[in-house]
Amino acid sequence: MSILAAWSGTRIILRQVSPESIPIFDFILELYRSCDGNWNQISGGDGIVEEDVEEFLKYAATFLSNIGNYYGSGDQKFVPQISSSSIEKLAARSLKLWDLYLEFRDSIMTVPPFTLGYPSPVAQSSYYPGEFIEKEEIALVSRHMGAHSILPENTRVRKTGEDTFEVLQASTMISEVPLPLDIPDSTARVSLVRGDHADDLEKICQNLSRAATYAANDAQRKFIAQYIESFRTGSLDAYRDSQRTWITDKAPKIENIFGFVEPYRDPAGIRAEFEGLVAIANAEETKLLSKLVENSDKFIQRLPWATPENNGKGAFEKSLFDPPDFSSIHTLAYCSSIIFPGINLPNYNDIRQDVGFKNVIVANRMTAESTAMQWPFIEDSEMELFQKHKYPAYYWWVVLHELLGHGTGRMMIEEPANKFNFDPANPPISPLDGKPIKTWYKPGQTWTGEFGDLATTLDECRAELVGAYLMDDPELLALFGFTDQSEIRADDLTYNLYQQLGVDGLRALSNYNVEGSKWGQAHSRAHFSILRCLLRHGHGCIEIHHDIGAKKLRVQVDRSRIKSHGKKALGDMLLRLHMYRCTADVQTCREYYEDLSHVDEECLEWRQTVVENKPPPLLNVQANTFIDGETVTLKEYDATIAGVIQSWCERSV
């Protein structure tokens, strides 16, 4: 039942992506039903040629894999590679298809918008439906919401007039009368309207209620009940309680993650996309992760901000690293626009800092990516060895990213009533300049609230840097089974990781939107920034060779400079981001990070070559479960375009 609950969130995600996503989704499913999944029936009739059917099916599989018509990774719009008249011929097969087509015919092929982002001539965002809204107006609405203690993650904002706005809150409860959110120093009229995504949330709640009868323990029953309370009432306080309870459910055989979780696609960085995940834990893989968890303190003491105090971890680290639950899982259902290789939750820093967090590694997702077509940025003579080492290097990089990247750090916080989590009369010394810190989080301020649109990419960049910084540590690599005598040698693994830093930095450029001068994905901006750091400060550790005429880019890594120069460059960048984050030094951080992630003329030339060498998008095909009485059947599908479409059509969402 929890799997049904996960897939029941599909239409919420579609609604959050674009106005045309739901009718396109329904059109794909209805087209499948019109031929009973036998696509050969469509070709030849009514002037429809086989090539057009094939191209539309490619589009359909890509759409379904991303749950919308913008790439989950990169947020760029993609369109069918056929003419509008060819889509019209497909739509003419039935009255229902034609009615759906009329809902999206003016938008499915239209570019711009090129990307998701603040509403503009080149970007759009369904987190802000209605009249065109300015950044300043979004910030104004946030002030109204903050004054009334309404958190933003499960909301959208609709501008209804020159100075009037509606905050649409996700809940099954529907407002009979909007609730005014007035504040004294504003003439704007802002009101809260409950009931966004009501029908879909009702299905989710019903399926979660059924799933609760099969829960393994009281903690699972409790957080499911808290999920339901939040989805019914719209209360994010109830959702935050669910996260506190979820953390206590240690080493579950079945893992569940539901809610408005990741804020990557909101241009303001505060509103979150819905996701539903149900997975089975792998006990053997999890045992190996437990070894790292048990030794976490040792490796935290080797991070750049570590100083002798606080048991060798320094003032900007928690005194006690409470070992989190860390599992390797294989997903049964992962309903999200992007399937992440690793997850660290909850996304509320106060809960993470005061209560704890959980980590999961999505093993079957990582396996799928390791077999996908590679970006051609490594010399042909090295490609075989690169491919051999890529999966283990990537796997442990992600592990370190989640555990010690997202799991470390201590914010300097001032609370109401003149309370501090540090001594304000004797502030801690910043390792950046050797002087007492001058900035910190004031009462009511939060990491995401202060850093805004930078928060998610900075968080991911810092976590990536932690993993990369530690990936040459002999003791750490030996813990994973990599030594000078192992089949995959420790030095080769480190070398491969630096190759991946170069490759990921280049491929990130495909997610940079030239027309809007905007990064389309938090991780991509982070990867590019890390590459720029190594190019500027790595003293030849990494070099990029570009043959414009041949449209070739190559990453070259100097093994001899990894530990002497590459690690130092990564460590300096990591220390800066960590300190800016811990001390709420927003302005200095923005200047530093925006400079590193700036795409200059040379990088725009790299981008052109990157785009021309882009491999096909990774398509995701997931299984379905069917219940007949007490019998549950798992149905898997062919890893083909037809298999992707069939799997979605049989979900009945």
CA 24, 57, 652 angle in degrees (round to 5)?
Answer: 55
Encode 17-32 in three state secondary structure. Answer: HCCCHHHHHHHHHHHH
Burial class (CB in 10 A: 0-12, 13-18, 19+), 230: buried
What secondary structure letter does DSSP report for 614? P
Strands 254-262 and 189-196, sheet pairing = unpaired
N-terminal to C-terminal alpha carbon distance within the chain: 14
* Alpha carbons 614 and 603: distance in angstroms, whole number: 16
| Contact between residue 234 and residue 173 where contact means Cβ atoms under 8 Å apart | yes
Place of tokens 């030339």: 605
Read off the amino acid at residue 450: E
Token reading at 182: 């007035």
Number of neighbouring beta carbons within 10 Å of residue 214: 11
Helix, strand, or coil (residue 57): helix
Encode 464-485 in three state secondary structure. Answer: HHHHHHHCCCHHHHHHCCCCCC
* Alpha carbons 335 and 72: distance in angstroms, whole number: 12
Helix, strand, or coil (residue 259): strand
**Would you state the torsion angle of the CA atoms of residues 309, 311, 315, 317, taken in this order, to the nearest 10 degrees?**
160
Q: Which residues pair with 77 in a beta bridge?
A: 70
| Contact between residue 367 and residue 395 where contact means Cβ atoms under 8 Å apart | no
Which of 100, 104, 164, 154 has the alpha carbon at shortest distance from 130? Answer: 164
- Report the b/e string of 608-618 with b at 16+ CB within 10 A: ebbeebeeebb
| Contact between residue 523 and residue 510 where contact means Cβ atoms under 8 Å apart | no
402 catalytically annotated? yes
Read off the amino acid at residue 389: H
Which residue among 30, 262, 402, 460 is the active-site one?
402
136 to each of 141, 143, 542, how far by Cα in Å?
A: 9, 11, 41
Which own/partner contact pairs does 102-106 have at CB distance under 8 Å and 24+ positions apart?
A: 103/20, 103/23, 104/20, 104/23, 104/24, 104/27
* Alpha carbons 10 and 18: distance in angstroms, whole number: 13
Catalytic residues: 402
